[in-house]
Amino acid sequence: MTKTRLRIIRMFKTLRHMPLVASLVLTAGLPVAALAWDDLEDAARGQQVFFNAWGGSEPINDYLLWAADEIADRYDIVLEHVKVGDTGDVVSRVLAERAAGRDEGGSVDLVWINGENFRAMKEQDLLYGPWTDRLPHYELLDFDNKPTLTMDFSTPVDNMEAPWGMAQLTFMYDSARVDTLPDSMAELLTFAQENPGRVTYPALPSFYGTTFVKQAMLELTDDPSVFYESANAVEDPAAELAPLWDFLDELHAVAWQQGRAFPQDAPQMKQMLNDGEILLSLSFNPNDASNAILTGELPDTVRTYVHSGGTIGNTHFLAIPYNASAPEAAMVVANFLMSPEAQARKADIEIWGDPTVLAIDQLSRDEQQLFDDIERGPAGLSDEALEAVLLEPHATWVPLLEDEWQRRYAR
């Protein structure tokens, strides 16, 4: 932003409460929405944003360091990455702040979130907003092809969180050890029976595990539409889930540790895949494997696949707690993270490989070039393979799944 423009904004800032001036501005044809955003960017200057985000991945931490540098240069905002092990910790902290009556000046300004954590915070009125439609880059989002941008695990987003990246359940395997791939949950069972002790999935309530079980649930029923209704509205939810439990019973009999132990989460499964302890691993990021090959974490023979019937896809978001200390700056940061430049860098498998939330065809030619320049990773999937996306089932099914899973397999 140039100095003159800044000065003009400051001038308007001092005058903005005067109706006369406001009408003058309007008549002069200046876009009010844009002015409001600039105004906000101005207010955000010098603020500090505590961005609470999972800190378990070096590529992601590196990416956020880059973003912090850029944001400091461009907006004079200090972005602090608070590395969290579990987003639940952040929810707890905001909750503790509300319990103590701190309704402003909270310790969290921006949080990386989705799914159940989002639903919980939204239902408990722990979020600031709606705000995302004020962001200039909001218009670039790919709402037409990505329904999960407005529906987060069946909870309406309602502009309370800004889309940041796309996720889809993807399986990984080592092509040096596996020839024929299962194309469905039924085939996965056969595969497991042929390779006893070499297939597993993360224990529930880890969301990786929950997604795997939801995927099985959707695939094993004749009529998946049931699961898109509230479980409370279904006559006999237990009957609907019966095929799932039969399947898991059979799977566990031949699974890793005979289903008496499970990995904690997907990163642990990635290790086990590298070690050959298991033959199939899973991830939410289709480019995870490519990135891991480049960093040496996985052998270069690892490839990925999805079921041709589709796999569950969702979006991860950025939200601002209701008591954030610097909501203006948090919005500026979110807007930057949604910019074509930041999104293209994030999608680069050498950086992170997280798919973009933007509609690439709506971008300028230069911006599109940024995305075109990204090389497809050694283990990347074709766009066609990724097009078969299943939506998350209705959120009310999750507690049913988790409780029954624990009753059956974790007692």
Partner 1 sequence: MLRRCLAAFPAVTAAVFIVPVVIGLIGTWLPAFGYLPALGAERLTWAHWEYLLTHPSVPTAARHTLISAWGSTLLSLLAALTLLALTWRSRTLRWLRRSLSGLLAIPHAAFAIGIVALLAPSGWLIKLASPALTGWELPPIFSLVRDPWAISLMFVLALKETPFIIFMTLAALQQLQVGRSLQMGRSLGYTEFMAWRRIILPQLLPLLRLPLFAVLAYGVSVVDLALIVGPSAPSTLAVLVDRWFNHPDILRRLPGSAGATLLLVLTVLSLGLWWLLEKLWLRLSRPHWDSGQRRSALHWLARPAEGLSLLLIGSALAAFMVLVVWSFAFRWGFPDPLPQSWTLRFWERGWTRLQQPFWLTLWTGLAAAVIGLVLVVGCLEHEVTLRRRRPGFTGPKLFWLIYVPLIVPQIAFLFGIQVVLVWFNLDGNWLALLWSHLMFVVPYLFLSLSGPYRNFDDRYVRQAMLLHGGEWCALSRVKWPMLLRPLCYVTALGFAVSLAQYLPTLYVGSGRFATLTTETVSIAGGGDRRLVGVYALTQWLLPMLIYSLALLVPAWCFRHRRGMRLQ
Q: Rounded to the nearest whole angstrom, what is the least distance from the CB of residue 271 to partner 1 in the complex?
A: 5
**Does 193 engage in binding with partner 1 (CB under 8 A)?**
no
d(CA 388, CA 183): 13
**Does 275 engage in binding with partner 1 (CB under 8 A)?**
yes
**Does 355 engage in binding with partner 1 (CB under 8 A)?**
no
Q: Which is nearer to partner 1, 198 or 316 (CB)?
A: 198
Return all residues near 246 (Cβ < 8 A) that are at least 6 apart: none
Of 123-162, binders to partner 1 (CB under 8 A) are 124
**Does 197 engage in binding with partner 1 (CB under 8 A)?**
yes
Return all residues near 314 (Cβ < 8 A) that are at least 6 apart: 114, 115, 148, 152, 153, 166, 167, 168, 284, 392
Q: Rounded to the nearest whole angstrom, what is the least distance from the CB of residue 124 to partner 1 in the complex?
A: 6
Structure token digits, residue 307: 């079921």
Q: Which is nearer to partner 1, 47 or 87 (CB)?
A: 87
**Does 99 engage in binding with partner 1 (CB under 8 A)?**
yes
Q: Which of 92, 175, 190, 369 binds partner 1 (CB under 8 A)?
A: 92
Q: Rounded to the nearest whole angstrom, what is the least distance from the CB of residue 224 to partner 1 in the complex?
A: 23
d(CA 374, CA 350): 9
**Does 80 engage in binding with partner 1 (CB under 8 A)?**
yes
Q: Rounded to the nearest whole angstrom, what is the least distance from the CB of residue 256 to partner 1 in the complex?
A: 7
Q: Which of 31, 56, 130, 147 binds partner 1 (CB under 8 A)?
A: 56
Q: Which is nearer to partner 1, 142 or 265 (CB)?
A: 265
**Does 267 engage in binding with partner 1 (CB under 8 A)?**
yes
Give the 3-state secondary structure of residue 43: helix
Number of residues that bind partner 1 (CB under 8 A): 73
**Does 271 engage in binding with partner 1 (CB under 8 A)?**
yes
CA nearest neighbour of 117 among 170, 67, 59, 52:
52
Q: Which of 177, 234, 396, 400 binds partner 1 (CB under 8 A)?
A: 177
**Does 96 engage in binding with partner 1 (CB under 8 A)?**
yes
Q: Which is nearer to partner 1, 119 or 137 (CB)?
A: 119
Written in H, E and C, the secondary structure of 328-373 is HHHHHHHHHHCCHHHHHHHHCCCCCCCCCCECHHHCCHHHHHHHHC
**Does 83 engage in binding with partner 1 (CB under 8 A)?**
yes
**Does 411 engage in binding with partner 1 (CB under 8 A)?**
yes
Options 55-63, 218-226, 344-352, 369-377: segment touching partner 1 (CB under 8 A)? 55-63
Percent helix, percent strand, percent coil in the chain, to nearest 5: 50, 15, 35
d(CA 292, CA 59): 10
Q: What are phi and psi of 125, to 5 degrees?
A: 55, 40
Enclosing H/E stretch for 390: strand 389-390
User: Half-sphere exposure of residue 394, counting CA atoms within 13 Å on the CB side?
Assistant: 15
Q: Which of 38, 42, 97, 109 binds partner 1 (CB under 8 A)?
A: 97
Of 282-321, binders to partner 1 (CB under 8 A) are 295-297, 299
Contact present, 410 and 385 (Cβ < 8 Å): no
Options 83-91, 305-313, 345-353, 365-373: segment touching partner 1 (CB under 8 A)? 83-91
Cα-based torsion angle of the residue sequence 249, 254, 259, 260 in order, rounded to the nearest 10 degrees: 120
**Does 19 engage in binding with partner 1 (CB under 8 A)?**
no
**Does 120 engage in binding with partner 1 (CB under 8 A)?**
yes
> CA separation (Å) from 131 to 155, 259, 321?
17, 45, 12
Options 334-342, 372-380, 381-389, 402-410: segment touching partner 1 (CB under 8 A)? 402-410
Q: Rounded to the nearest whole angstrom, what is the least distance from the CB of residue 106 to partner 1 in the complex?
A: 9
Q: Rounded to the nearest whole angstrom, what is the least distance from the CB of residue 303 to partner 1 in the complex?
A: 15
Q: Which of 11, 34, 233, 261 binds partner 1 (CB under 8 A)?
A: 261
Options 26-34, 162-170, 198-206, 366-374: segment touching partner 1 (CB under 8 A)? 198-206
Q: Which is nearer to partner 1, 358 or 405 (CB)?
A: 405
- Dump strand ranges (E) for 271-310: 280-283, 302-305
Structure token digits, residue 6: 């800044």
Exposed (0-12), middle (13-18) or buried (19+): which is 191, by Cβ within 10 Å?
Answer: buried
